[in-house]
Structure 1
Amino acid sequence: MPLKLDTHASPVIDHTLPFATSLQLVVGQASEKGRKSQNEDAIGIRIPSGVSLMTKGIVSVISDGVSTAEGGAQASAISVSNFLADYYSTPDSWSVQTSSAKVLTALNRWLYGLGQDYRDARRGFVCTFSALVFKSCTVHMLHVGDSRIYRFRRGELTQLSHDHSTKINASHQYLTRALGMDVKLDVDYKALTVEQDDLYLLTTDGIHDQFTEFELRQKISCFYQLHPQLSDDLCEQFCRKLITKAFELGSKDNLSAQLLCVHQLPKQAIDDVYHHLSQRPFPPPLSVGMKLDGYKVTHIIHQSQRSQVYRVENDQQHTFCMKTPSVNYIDDAAYIERFMLESWIGQRINSTHVVKVAEQHQPKSALYYLTEFLPGVSLAQWLVQHKKAPVEEVLLLLKQIELGVRAFHRRETLHQDLKPDNIFITRDSVVKIIDFGSCYIKGVAEISTPLTRDHILGTADYTAPEVILGYQADGRADLFSLAVIAYEMLAGELPFNGKLAKCNTRQAFLRLEYVNAHTLNPMVPTWIDDALKKALNIEPNLRQADTCELIHQLTTPSAHQRPQHFVPLISRNPVRFWQVTSIVLFLALVTSLLV
């Protein structure tokens, strides 16, 4: 069952992402039933256009339904068609590994569930699965089963996949791993650098079992020498010739093959990238009364070396916040890229506790973006007015901040600059995270660029040690920042006596000493101190697993710390009560007689 979707669709230039969509593949595929009564193989290729080509990439999938499984043909067809559809439905901000893992886990459970009518799971809906996802200058390999993936580069053929099968004898073998075989799925994953003119060959066992690796290399090499300029038709022609030869050699299985050639990779020249980024001009500094695209400036909210924020109104008297880049960075491509990504990620975070980026239905004449206007105060201002606020009030605010942070993490995005200035409390006491300028987006980080990106973007007083030291950070870095904010709200000052910002080596961080919040504010219970101390650990793996666990520990006393109701000794142990009473009375009597 060959599928080929969106191939060579006309390109769409998407101005919301600062990347060029210049990845191009030449592809071909073919599948035949061979000597079998039906074709249980399934193949598919999807080449999207526009923003999906940047954020999700090009996908090639091949699957072989297990012959001994009654639902093998259906399983392979389901796995190919659903993966090609569902993978592109995952959030743009997710990495390839996360997106594919979520989709394959759901597919595996579905196939496994369909196969529960059979006593032996191997006889149900079981198939192999091999896929390549080409994104930017990287190819991501996903593999389970005994279909194969080869790479041909500069005359050398390399088998990238590993067969998940065990041989019983010279003519029989069985699969040890496959889709639908078990409720748990273990998929091989690799991310490899792509080079221009790479060839990738995907085959089912009906083909590769008939050839040695040397014979396959010879066939690809001869074909490539004859046709140095490949086309889709030529790639398909090669697949059909491979099928014909395997059939002639006596293959008794279905025969499927896919050939993909990397024709063009995204441009990596810094001048090309800057030209793409500078298509929209920087707006000049605005003053009250000035207009930009119909938005009139009514107040200047914030001005700094890096950006400006204005309160603006449109012709319908709707109020927004407008953020514009600073002209100080007009020649800084990395800064422009990050500014453009702010509105992009803001549009993809949907939470009551994250400021909403406003939709615009008219073209922009300059580089800026709009958000909802929020009447209220920043958490920094709130802290000035509420020194050592009641613990219950602080916890209510922290719960809302955590919900906002969790919304970022669900999009596989780290905020990286959580601090009181970036947290807003509305007049209705709704807490919102208001800044996206330092976000790390896993899916976007996979897109290659010649730009040198900043890795330390947050404020040192609130930034996790692993970020300062340049280590790979995850959600526990934002957890650390949230814990710093929680400590400041409860204790009235920063943790570690405010020395965190002065540390820039591992040894300096290890010398920090935690000061109990209870020491600075006796109203802080000990269980909250314990939770904060753990969250502020210098080692990320010794903190809570996520922000949700931190909030649970902050709001839930541990068992040994819960206040106990006093139970009199006569109720707990009547015998002991009367023994103690008798001794006391006896001693009192002796004392009175002696006197």
Structure 2
Amino acid sequence: MSLPLSVSIGSTTNKGIKPINQDYIDYCVPKEPLLSTKGIVLAIADGISSSQVSQIASETAVTNFLTDYYCTADTWSVKSAGQTVLKSINSWLHAQTLDSPNRFDKNKGYVCTFSALILKSNTAHIFHSGDSRIYRLVGDSLEQLTEDHRLHVSDDVSYLTRALGIDKTLPIDYSTVAVEQGDLFILATDGVFEFIDGRRISTIVSNKETLNEAAADIVVEAMAAGSDDNLSIQLVSVNSIPDYQLDEVHQLTQLPMPPLLAPRMHFDGYEILRELYVSSRSHVFLAKDLVSHSNVVIKTPSMDMRNDEQYLEHFMLEQWVAKRINNPHVAKAITPNRKQNFVYLVSEYIEGVSLNQWMFDNPNPSLEQVRTVIEQVVKGVQAFHRQEMIHQDLRPQNIMIDSNNTVKIIDFGSTYIAGVSYVEHEQVLRGTMRYSAPEYFLGEWGTSASDIFSIAVITYQMLSGEFPYKTDIAQARSISAQRKLTYRSIINADSELPLWVDDTLQRALQVEPKNRYKVLSEFIYDLRHPSKQFLAKGRAPLIERKPVVFWQGVSALLMCIIIGLLLSR
């Protein structure tokens, strides 16, 4: 009988003689099915001492890697999943530095080294950037499995050539080694490995009952040997490994395509209840989980797209996006507690109507009703933006309102994730034309301002039943054509809306992205309050507001002029 992958882990971290600990370590040993499909993850990060915020970078890198890696699709290889997650984390850290007062000084930014060890089946997968190290203990010697990314200028001067958060793009070292029962792997920062050798580590490990005790003793000895830095170490001993080799080749054919689904059909532990939506790209069904008896939504690739590798990459990326976001206004991804045998996505079933249907049922909503809906949409979109993601397909069909009047965003197939290369290099129009921001029609990348534009279009449509630029915006595919676009005021002779609401919408719907709101919170605030800009430009002249004061002032001015003329004679 084949034994499952089993390990023992010991770890410790200490600030040493430093005032704070800028190292961060963590690990995860999941239960099945994740143990087989994703493996065991250990990660370590070391902040740079010149930065006062790099401990935030270290903690963010490790915690987000452990969380987001397990959210990736089962059909992704370890390499693809790990690299995708790290690129996203790197992009977020780099963006924080650019938004900080130290945006021109990388040595004071959100920067850290990073090393991760993923044990899956009988293979160790290594991801590395910086000068933290991963070793394998061979006898009483340390076999270094990573390469330091540090340039030594002199005996006293050196600097990192690669680390998370330094640049927008991140080259990542990736390698694999075969794992055997009894192997001992070590993840350590320079505060440890520069002050203790393999022979001593081997002796300590063999003389201690647990790896936690061994890790603590190694740190104590490194400090006694003169370590002048933070000290962190993780030890992982392989107790048993499966006797089979999982296919680690990155191909979506790892899992077969599902059969054509139909009502009453039993499929992979679900009963298909009815068809919800069918398009040339995907098929969506309402199904019942035969184990939990809860209703879920199952989405499968359409027959036409099953051989399109780029589409399938996006399809599985959608599941990862949904798992990363935990927000009441974003549809949840469902993770079955059993092995998945086909390529498909599972998400929560929202009992309710789409915003598109709600608008049809409520053709003349009050301003307060519109605010209530849009404020919830914004809360959901903010969850995307906080993780450096842009939805890119915000439209009434992708917004649901459940039986409790809670608004939820669905469908993440067009979502842009900063740092994920194969999304960045696609110059395709995302979203639906009537709701897409003008920059998309020029072939430009979307930003958070693009989502703001789409939300403003939806708000405009809810209040008027029309669109701010009609269909002209989809036809304006050059800068000169877009400059001719004219915003249509939502205010007409029969309108009861305040003038400042139209001013708010006009700002959010500017053709030029830099002229829109910078953040969604400003837009939402201005939907309830006249902005300072509106009050400034909307203020009536003094002669209209206070005519008596105006003429008194004019009289006083004339008197001063007359007195001045008399005195000059």
Fold-level match, TM-score > 0.5? yes
Alpha-carbon displacement from aligned partner over 1:146-175 (angstroms, at most 9, x marks no partner)? xxxxxxxxxxx9987999xxxxxxx999x9
- Tell me how far 1:385 sits from its aligned partner: 2.5
Contact 1:87-1:99 within 8 A present in 2 as well? no
Residue in 2 that maps onto 1:299 = 274
Residue in 2 that maps onto 1:122 = none
Change (3 A) 1:140 1:253: closer
User: For the residues of structure 1 that align with 2:24 and 2:404, how far apart are their CA atoms?
Assistant: 52
Residue in 1 that maps onto 2:308 = 332
Residue in 2 that maps onto 1:555 = 528
Contact 1:48-1:58 within 8 A present in 2 as well? no
| Aligned counterpart in structure 1 of residue 346 of structure 2, from 354, 370, 375 | 370
User: For the residues of structure 1 that align with 2:297 and 2:512, how far apart are their CA atoms?
Assistant: 38
Change (3 A) 1:326 1:479: same
User: For the residues of structure 2 that align with 1:404 and 1:43, how far apart are their CA atoms?
Assistant: 33
Q: Are 1:96 and 2:72 an aligned pair?
A: no
CA RMSD of aligned residues (A): 5.8
| Aligned counterpart in structure 1 of residue 373 of structure 2, from 377, 397, 414 | 397
Q: Are 1:529 and 2:505 an aligned pair?
A: no
- Tell me how far 1:411 sits from its aligned partner: 2.2
Matches within 5 A, 1:193-204: 193=171
The amino acid of 2:269's aligned partner reads: G
Residue in 1 that maps onto 2:388 = 412
Q: Are 1:517 and 2:490 an aligned pair?
A: yes
User: For the residues of structure 1 that align with 2:425 and 2:414, how far apart are their CA atoms?
Assistant: 15
Change (3 A) 1:415 1:332: same
Deviates more, 1:286-295 or 1:462-471: 462-471
Residue in 1 that maps onto 2:408 = 432
The amino acid of 2:268's aligned partner reads: D
Q: Secondary structure at the match of 1:478?
A: helix
The amino acid of 2:441's aligned partner reads: I
Unaligned runs of 5+ in 2: 8-15, 70-84, 103-107, 118-124, 132-147, 159-164, 176-188, 202-225, 231-246, 553-569
| Aligned counterpart in structure 1 of residue 321 of structure 2, from 345, 354, 366 | 345
Unaligned runs of 5+ in 1: 1-9, 13-32, 67-71, 110-125, 143-156, 164-170, 176-186, 208-231, 237-251, 257-271, 578-595
Contact 1:280-1:366 within 8 A present in 2 as well? yes
Q: Are 1:280 and 2:219 an aligned pair?
A: no
Contact 1:438-1:457 within 8 A present in 2 as well? yes
User: For the residues of structure 2 that align with 1:355 and 1:371, how far apart are their CA atoms?
Assistant: 7
Contact 2:128-2:174 within 8 A present in 1 as well? no
User: For the residues of structure 1 that align with 2:24 and 2:371, how far apart are their CA atoms?
Assistant: 51
Change (3 A) 1:432 1:42: closer
Change (3 A) 1:57 1:162: farther
The amino acid of 1:428's aligned partner reads: N
User: For the residues of structure 1 that align with 2:111 and 2:305, how far apart are their CA atoms?
Assistant: 47
The amino acid of 1:408's aligned partner reads: F
Contact 1:387-1:492 within 8 A present in 2 as well? yes
User: For the residues of structure 1 that align with 2:497 and 2:279, how far apart are their CA atoms?
Assistant: 36
Q: Secondary structure at the match of 1:401?
A: helix
Matches within 5 A, 1:105-184: 131=113
Q: Are 1:540 and 2:513 an aligned pair?
A: yes
Q: Secondary structure at the match of 2:284?
A: strand
Residue in 1 that maps onto 2:358 = 382
Alpha-carbon displacement from aligned partner over 1:518-559 (angstroms, at most 9, x marks no partner)? 138612221111111111112211110111211111121235
Q: Are 1:472 and 2:454 an aligned pair?
A: no
Contact 1:46-1:84 within 8 A present in 2 as well? no
Contact 1:133-1:140 within 8 A present in 2 as well? yes
The amino acid of 1:291's aligned partner reads: H
Contact 1:496-1:514 within 8 A present in 2 as well? yes
Alpha-carbon displacement from aligned partner over 1:362-407 (angstroms, at most 9, x marks no partner)? 1122111222222222111222232242222111111111111112
Matches within 5 A, 1:204-353: 276-315=251-290, 317-353=293-329
- Tell me how far 1:436 sits from its aligned partner: 1.1
User: For the residues of structure 1 that align with 2:112 and 2:293, how far apart are their CA atoms?
Assistant: 55
Change (3 A) 1:340 1:64: closer
- Tell me how far 1:137 sits from its aligned partner: 13
- Tell me how far 1:203 sits from its aligned partner: 9.4
Contact 2:24-2:62 within 8 A present in 1 as well? no
User: For the residues of structure 1 that align with 2:516 and 2:283, how far apart are their CA atoms?
Assistant: 36
User: For the residues of structure 1 that align with 2:253 and 2:109, how far apart are their CA atoms?
Assistant: 48
- Tell me how far 1:512 sits from its aligned partner: 0.9
Contact 1:320-1:371 within 8 A present in 2 as well? yes
Matches within 5 A, 1:483-522: 483-519=456-492, 522=495
User: For the residues of structure 1 that align with 2:156 and 2:262, how far apart are their CA atoms?
Assistant: 79
Change (3 A) 1:58 1:466: farther
- Tell me how far 1:439 sits from its aligned partner: 0.9
Change (3 A) 1:432 1:103: closer
Change (3 A) 1:508 1:308: same
Scaled by the length of structure 2, what TM-score is found?
0.59
Residue in 1 that maps onto 2:220 = none
Structure with bigger gyration radius: 1
The amino acid of 2:332's aligned partner reads: K
Scaled by the length of structure 1, what TM-score is found?
0.57
User: For the residues of structure 2 that align with 1:384 and 1:44, how far apart are their CA atoms?
Assistant: 52
The amino acid of 1:284's aligned partner reads: P
- Tell me how far 1:431 sits from its aligned partner: 1.2
Change (3 A) 1:298 1:412: same
User: For the residues of structure 2 that align with 1:196 and 1:85, how far apart are their CA atoms?
Assistant: 17
User: For the residues of structure 2 that align with 1:128 and 1:459, how far apart are their CA atoms?
Assistant: 36
Q: Secondary structure at the match of 2:337?
A: coil
User: For the residues of structure 2 that align with 1:361 and 1:394, how far apart are their CA atoms?
Assistant: 39
Contact 1:424-1:432 within 8 A present in 2 as well? yes
Contact 1:354-1:434 within 8 A present in 2 as well? yes
Q: Secondary structure at the match of 1:425?
A: strand
Deviates more, 1:56-65 or 1:286-295: 56-65
Change (3 A) 1:100 1:80: closer
Change (3 A) 1:11 1:512: farther
Change (3 A) 1:512 1:361: same
User: For the residues of structure 2 that align with 1:455 and 1:162, how far apart are their CA atoms?
Assistant: 45
User: For the residues of structure 2 that align with 1:375 and 1:435, how far apart are their CA atoms?
Assistant: 16
Contact 1:282-1:327 within 8 A present in 2 as well? no
Change (3 A) 1:364 1:83: closer
Alpha-carbon displacement from aligned partner over 1:470-505 (angstroms, at most 9, x marks no partner)? 323221111111111111111211111222222222
Residue in 2 that maps onto 1:361 = 337
- Tell me how far 1:465 sits from its aligned partner: 2.0
User: For the residues of structure 2 that align with 1:191 and 1:474, how far apart are their CA atoms?
Assistant: 17
- Tell me how far 1:346 sits from its aligned partner: 0.9
User: For the residues of structure 1 that align with 2:505 and 2:464, how far apart are their CA atoms?
Assistant: 11
Change (3 A) 1:507 1:424: same
Contact 1:467-1:473 within 8 A present in 2 as well? yes
Q: Secondary structure at the match of 2:113?
A: strand
- Tell me how far 1:361 sits from its aligned partner: 0.8
Contact 1:351-1:404 within 8 A present in 2 as well? yes
